[in-house]
């Protein structure tokens, strides 16, 4: 493992062999000659403090059934105040196994029946979880030629006027890369309030807001507590998705009671190791997170330079948060540039079709890797698309 020194705890790049062992989906399911830049996992060693908390617990035999003892919620309250500008009571969280499980729980037991709105392109499981709960999905596609990746409030208003009851909001947005401004979110709130609708806000990428943008938690806006539920997790910011601990956040007593009264069998997929990781990350992870954000900021600049130099017809949406860049490669004339990149360049990107079915020429590039690998990723992509 090679360390890159910055202030606080450094980000340590995994070697290829270490990454293959650690990240069995991202690295283990592609051929050995393929560079993986697809699923949202980072090629970095865990924050050693988080890793130690988990290994200490395993060593002590802590592999039994978990309990939601309030520790995740209490730790998140401190984290949200320090990082997200969000002041919350300590007991505002209900632990769930993962974010999509939390969205499903909220749809099943909290949301009113009726169609659910989702902005496309979207994190693909958003498309599946809505019909899984027996609801109609209303897609609001972003115009790929629009200058800014912005939510169209008139369209949202029309969707609610036509009968939609819930907005599944992604803030910051994967894969748009947007951190919605307070004014944009206030606009959403006003539309939703006018129709008596509800919002499920996935804010998993909030801690990955990069320099230049300011994150606003949807529920930090006045007048949202009774119509919104937030779902979040340390899994993206701290790379611990496999430990299974996410949480729903609400400041409404009524909503919390509703979510807590479900039978255990409805919500028992979280793990004691995930809880230990979450509490430790939220309480002691600040120095590592600072190093991570610094690294991702550098990687974002590097990607921009590489694209300018090697793929000048690429159009990259500004990456305000996340480590997932949404790139318009229509200038190179391929319906699915990710498929071409895999076949000819041996690099695995996210296919645009997965995020926006039917949208040609787009791909998502995961930049959470070493600078050398990012150079190789873009070099291979450019060779695949341009033959040079």
Ligand X SMILES: Cc1ncc(COP(=O)(O)O)c(C=O)c1O
* Stretch of residues binding ligand X (CB under 6 A), selected from 66-74, 130-138, 176-184, 231-239: 231-239
Q: Which residue, 319 or 382, has its beta carbon nearer to ligand X? A: 319
In the shown chain, the binding pattern of residues 39 to 58 toward ligand X, with x for contact by CB under 6 A and - for none, equals -x------------------
CB of 163 to ligand X, least distance (A): 25
Nearest to 233 by CA among 269, 272, 279, 199: 279
Strand order in the sheet with 315-316: 315-316, 324-328, 362-366, 350-351
Q: Residue-wise over 225-236: b if at least 16 C-beta within 10 A, else e? A: bebbbbbbbbbb
Nearer to ligand X, 229 or 382 (CB): 229
Query: From the list 229, 241, 281, 363, which residue makes contact with ligand X (rule: CB under 6 A)?
Result: 241
| CA distances, 36 to each of 13, 26, 73, 209, 316 (Å) | 14, 6, 34, 23, 19
DSSP 335: S
Binding to ligand X, residues 122-141 (CB under 6 A): 123
Binding positions for ligand X, 170-229, rule CB under 6 A: 170, 174, 202, 204
Per CB under 6 A, the segment of 65-73, 96-104, 185-193, 287-295 that binds ligand X is: 96-104
- Sign, CA dihedral 94-96-99-101, equals negative
CB 241 to ligand X: min, Å: 4
Q: What is the pattern of x (binds ligand X, CB under 6 A) and - over residues 253-292?
A: ----------------------------------------
- By beta-carbon proximity to ligand X, the closer residue of 86 and 123 is 123
Residue 374 touching ligand X (CB under 6 A): no
- Residue 38 in the binding site for ligand X (CB under 6 A): no
Tell me the two tokens of residue 277.
Answer: 């990781």
Q: Is 84 left (phi over 0), alpha (psi -120 to 50) or beta?
A: alpha
Does the protein bind ligand X through residue 233 (CB under 6 A)?
yes
Residue 330 to residue 337: CA distance in whole angstroms: 8
CB 269 within 8 A of CB 97: yes
Residue 357 DSSP symbol? T
Residue 118 or 311: which CB sits closer to ligand X?
118
Contact positions toward ligand X, by CB under 6 A? 40, 98-100, 123, 170, 174, 202, 204, 233, 235-236, 241, 246
């Amino acid at each position: 493992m090679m360390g890159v020194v910055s202030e606080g705890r450094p980000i340590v790049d995994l070697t290829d062999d270490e990454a293959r062992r650690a990240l069995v989906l991202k690295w283990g399911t592609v051929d050995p000659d393929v560079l993986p830049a697809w699923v949202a996992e980072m090629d970095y060693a865990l924050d050693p403090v988080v890793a130690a908390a988990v290994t200490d617990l395993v060593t002590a035999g802590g592999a039994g059934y978990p309990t939601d003892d309030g520790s995740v919620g209490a730790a998140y309250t401190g984290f949200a105040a320090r990082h997200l500008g969000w002041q919350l009571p300590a007991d505002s969280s209900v632990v769930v196994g993962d974010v999509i499980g939390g969205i499903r729980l909220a749809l099943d037991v909290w949301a009113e029946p009726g169609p659910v709105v989702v902005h496309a392109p979207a994190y693909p499981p958003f498309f599946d979880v809505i019909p899984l709960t027996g609801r109609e999905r209303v897609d609001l596609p972003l115009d790929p030629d629009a200058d800014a990746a912005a939510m169209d409030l008139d369209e949202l208003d029309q969707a609610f006027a036509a009968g939609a009851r819930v907005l599944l909001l992604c803030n910051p947005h994967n894969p748009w890369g947007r951190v919605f401004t307070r004014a944009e979110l206030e606009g959403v709130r006003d539309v939703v309030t006018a129709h008596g609708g509800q919002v499920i806000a996935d804010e998993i990428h909030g801690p990955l807001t990069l320099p230049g943008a300011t994150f606003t938690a949807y529920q930090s806006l006045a007048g949202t507590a009774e119509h919104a539920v937030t779902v979040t997790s340390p899994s993206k910011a701290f790379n611990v998705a496999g430990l299974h601990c996410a949480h729903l956040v609400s400041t409404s007593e009524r909503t919390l009671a509703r979510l807590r009264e479900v039978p255990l069998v409805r919500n028992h997929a979280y793990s004691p190791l995930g809880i230990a990781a979450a509490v430790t990350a939220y309480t002691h992870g600040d120095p590592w997170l600072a190093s991570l954000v610094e690294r991702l900021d550098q990687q974002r600049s590097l990607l921009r330079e590489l694209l300018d130099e090697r793929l000048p017809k690429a159009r990259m949406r500004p990456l305000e948060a996340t480590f997932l860049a949404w790139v318009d490669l229509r200038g190179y004339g391929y319906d699915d540039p990710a498929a071409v990149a895999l076949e000819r360049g041996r690099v695995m990107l996210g296919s645009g079709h997965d995020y926006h079915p039917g949208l040609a020429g787009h791909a998502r590039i995961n930049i959470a890797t070493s600078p050398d690998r990012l150079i190789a990723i873009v070099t291979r992509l450019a060779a695949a698309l341009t033959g040079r």
